[in-house]
Structures are given as C-alpha cells and as structure tokens.
Amino acid sequence: MTLLTKSKFISALQCPRLLWHSNKKLLPEVSIADQHRFDQGAEFEKFARLLFPEGINLENLDFNKNLEQTEKLIKNNVIIFEASFKDDNLFIRSDVLEPVDDKFNLYEIKSTTEVKPQHISDLAFQKYVLEKLNIKINKCFILHLNKEFTKNDEINPEELVKREEVTEQVNAIQDIEENTNKFLKILNQETSPDMTISKNCNKPYICPLKSECWSTLPKNNITQLTNWRQYWKLFEEGIQDIKDIPKDTILKPKDEVIREAVIKNKIQISIEHIKHSLNSLKYPLFHFDFETFDTAVPIFNKSKPYQKIPFQYSLHIQHKDGKLEHFEYLATGEEDPRIKLLEQLKNEIKGEGSVIVFNKSFEISVLKKLAEDFPQHSDWIQDVLDRIIDLAIPFQNYHYYNPIQKGKYSIKKVLPAITGNGYDNLEINNGLDASVQYFISHIKNKTKDNKLREHLLKYCCLDTEGMVWIIDELEKIIK
C-alpha cells in the first residue's frame, strides 16, 4: 500500500513531480552535505527530547510494532517520542506527543533557528491525521534551536531549545484534506506529473531533481540574469533564451551586460572600473581565505548554533616585485581550532598592505565573531578588517563578464573564465564539501586522514593562488 507520510506531504507541497519521484524512490542519492544536515538534525533532536525526561522512545521499533505500541501507550497518559499513526493511506510519526487531560500537545523538532512555513504545514498534516483517529490536539509547538544560545561547558537543553507555540498558525491551514486527496491520487499515478520549472524548485528546499528538470533550458538562459523577478516573468511569457528577450525589454544594468555578452558571444570589460578597483590595492597583497564548518548544536565553548568555526586558511603574500609567499593552516581536529589559527595568522598578516578576499561578507563575519569571542585579538582583527578589499566586487558589478560564468560571479566561475584554470581536477572542489569532509573525518570520526588533508590543502591553496592569478590577468587587461 502506498502511504502518504509527512515528508511526502511536504515534498508534494513543493512540487507534485517531486512527490511522485520520491514515492518511486527515483531521487538522486543523498549528497554527503545533505546527510550531514540530517545528522545535525538528529543530534539536536537528542537535546530536544531531554525536555521530556519521562518520554518513551519508540524510534527503534519496526513499522507494525511501533503502531501496536503507540496504540497501547496512547491510553496510558505518557509522553511518547516517535509515536506512529495510520489512517488508511495516511501515515505519520510524531516527534513528541504529550498528554494534557484528555488531549495531547503535539511537538515537531526542527534544527533550524526559527519557525518556517513548511513546519506549520507539517504539524497541520499530523494534526489532521491524529484528529481523524479521534486523538484531540490541545496545542502545537515547534522545538527549534535558540540562536542566542552560547555554549559554556555542559549544555542545558532548556537554554539550547526554544519552544514556540504555533497552534493558531496550524489551525489557520484549511486545505489539508483537499491537498491530501490530491496528493494520494498523484502517488498512485503510473507516470510522473508534467511540471514546469518555477520558483518552487528552490523553495523551501533546493529540489533534488533540479539538475534534471532544469537541464532542458537553453545554454544561455534567462535564469542567468540577476533579477529573478524579471526572469520568472520572462519565463512565464515563454522566453527561455537570453537571445530571445525582446529588444525593447529594459533590463537592470548588470543584466544588460549579461545580455550583451551572450548576444555578441564576447567577454564584456569595463576597463575604467577595473583600473579603479586595482588602483585601490596596496602592496604587499595578502590573499586570504578561510574554510569553516558549523554544527546545529555547538561543540566548542564560546560558540552558538551554526556558528562558522574556521579550521583552515590559505594565505598568499604577493609582493610588488612579483615575489610570492604561501602560508597555510589546517587544524588537527583535537581541539577548538580558533585560538591556534588566530595566533598563526597574526604572525603572517603583519605590517601594511591590502588583505584581499573574494566575497568579503563571509570572511568579515567570521573575523568579527572571532574578535567578539577572543577579545585579546580584537585590535589586530580590526586592523585586518580595515584593510580588506573584496576582489569579487568588479565581478559582482559585472565590470568583467564572460558568458561561460553563466550569470555567476563566485571564484569557482570567475577563475576559469578569466584564467582558463579551474577546480575540476581537484578531489575537493567546493567549500561545502571541504567543510563536511573535514568535520566527518577530523571531528566526528577523529581520524586524521592524510590523503584528505592533502586534498583540503590543495583546495584552499587554489582559492588564494587563484586570486593572485585573477589580479595578474586584470593587470594585463588594463595595460
């Protein structure tokens, strides 16, 4: 029998095609980053359950045993974790059910730092199923992470977990029955529903079928424009290729650059703006990049949920005469990496000269947090912050744009576009993989995998060496 579960219900709200594929188990394999996200959720759940010390956990029971046990326990006035309920083709497992007189409080545990609309739909579906089984719901709650929580030795779950009542929002959802019937029909369809791509492909989650569904778009398509409101409007009008945008359509200046590059199939360069950017650089240049990891439940003192903990950096110092020095740091995973990292970096970013980063908001936020948590280093950090120059700005402003960037200006797109060198030959070629692989190997499994360390060092090194090459190329362009 095909069952509509709460996760399928949420998938269906995002897209019927996603529901159908998920039901047929036709979704791509879960990525290591997604698995890490699920693991973080499970870790938080352990702390949230501590709010109910009397709770009975049915999590490890198989499908039928759990249903049987739930039926018994529900009459005994006890708190239950992972209680299962089935009504015809509808099936739910509730995170926490707490008896209150002849009713129950229903709790959903979410490892986010706030309540999201999909959480309300999730609870509304559970409430609908429970009420069909004559189980009355008193109040509904989301238990989520308290973003203000700072770890200081032992974690007190009362401080880590925020209990937010959402009964009113849940009761305001009136279309559960209608949606349930619609989704059950889709589950039983022989073929996948035809769907057109839309904003829903990214909301509330990036759809796992996105690369498949979006692969039919032309090479230079309107989703590469920066103004998403405008590109969805163009899409709804049937325009997919940038070349087909009517000439009289007024685009934002950045999008005009993208359109011009595609139509002429030519790199667009604003020499004056690039000159201006390069003139602001003061040698020696300290090309700098952090790698960080984060966890839902903080693992180090002086850190909050999802705080970015830097564990690695690469630094290339480029002197005016062309001399290049390289420094790097990669934590061993045995302790909080922040102090050692700061002490080493302080010895390397000295004197004067611009500190070059790519997309400054990330490095600035990590540095500011380090200054707050380790005030003994705050003067030096402030000096570094004052010297930061963001190499992404000329690309963010589309003063240089190569159509092969496909509308993006991250260093992963800019480096190959401007130098011909990229990340493709690296074992680790993006920050998310670096972060998750480091966390799993060094923090979770406590193994210092030397091959992985080599890959991490190569990856981070390319980020800063790449910035040196980008500046060299820009210098050639303005000559």
DSSP code of 193?
P
User: Given the complex with ligand SF4, which of 217 and 478 has the nearer CB atom?
Assistant: 217
Task: Work out how close the CB of 476 gets to ligand SF4 at its nearest, in angstroms, rounded to a whole number.
Answer: 41
Q: Kindly state the smallest distance separating residue 182's Cβ from ligand SF4, in Å.
A: 15
Of residues 207 and 381, the one with the C-beta less far from ligand SF4: 207
> Would you say 207 or 371 has its CB closer to ligand SF4?
207
Closest to ligand SF4 by CB, 229 vs 476, is 229
Out of 61, 213, 239, 385, the residue judged to bind ligand SF4 by CB under 6 A? 213
* Edge-first strand listing for the sheet containing 355-357: 324-330, 309-318, 285-293, 355-357, 388-390
Within 183-202, the residues that bind ligand SF4 by CB under 6 A are: 195, 197, 200-201
- CB of residue 209 to ligand SF4, shortest distance in Å: 4
Considering only residues 2 to 21 of the shown chain, the ones binding ligand SF4 according to CB under 6 A are 14-15, 17-18
Task: Determine if 412 is a binding residue for ligand SF4 (CB under 6 A).
Answer: no
Distances (CA, A) of 437 to 150, 193, 320: 25, 36, 36
**397 near 254, Cβ under 8 Å?**
yes
Q: Which of 132, 139, 210, 444 binds ligand SF4 (CB under 6 A)?
A: 210
- Token readout for 451 is 């091959």
Nearest distance in Å: CB 233, ligand SF4:
18
Residues 6 or more apart whose Cβ sits within 8 Å of residue 425 = none
Q: Which of 83, 140, 209, 460 binds ligand SF4 (CB under 6 A)?
A: 209
Q: How far is the CB of 42 from ligand SF4 (least distance, A)?
A: 25
Q: Cβ-count burial of 25 within 10 angstroms (0-12 exposed, 13-18 middle, 19+ buried)?
A: exposed
Least distance in angstroms from the C-beta of 173 to ligand SF4: 21
**Selected range binding ligand SF4 among 170-178, 207-215, 283-291, 307-315, rule: CB under 6 A:** 207-215
Applying CB under 6 A, among 90, 135, 170, 207 the residue interacting with ligand SF4 is: 207
- Count CB atoms within 10 A of the CB of residue 74: 18
Give one DSSP letter per residue of 25-82, joined into a string: T-SPPPPHHHHHHHHHHHHHHHHHHTT-TT-EE-TTS-HHHHHHHHHHHTTTT--EEE
- The rounded distance, in Å, linking the Cα atoms of 116 and 108 is 12
CB of 210 or CB of 458, closer to ligand SF4: 210
Sign, Cα dihedral of 128, 162, 368, 313: negative
CB of 109 to ligand SF4, least distance (A): 26
Q: How far is the CB of 19 from ligand SF4 (least distance, A)?
A: 9
Which CB atom, from 302 or from 406, has the smaller least distance to ligand SF4? 406
| Segment contacting ligand SF4 by CB under 6 A, of 183-191, 208-216, 243-251, 378-386 | 208-216
285-293 and 355-357 beta bridge pairing: parallel
Count Cβ atoms within 10 A of the Cβ of residue 188 and give its class: 0-12 exposed, 13-18 middle, 19 or more buried.
exposed
Task: Select 192 or 397, whichever has its Cβ closest to ligand SF4.
Answer: 192
- The site for ligand SF4, by CB under 6 A, has a size of 12
CA 382 to chain centre: 28
Nearer to ligand SF4, 157 or 204 (CB): 204
Least distance (Å) between residue 319 CB and ligand SF4: 48
Q: At a CB cut-off of 8 Å and minimum separation 6, what does 349 contact?
A: 286, 288, 315, 355, 384
CB of 408 to ligand SF4, least distance (A): 19
User: Contact, 336 vs 443, CB < 8 A?
Assistant: no
Site residues for ligand SF4, 259-318, by CB under 6 A, read: none
Site residues (vs ligand SF4, CB under 6 A): 14-15, 17-18, 195, 197, 200-201, 207, 209-210, 213
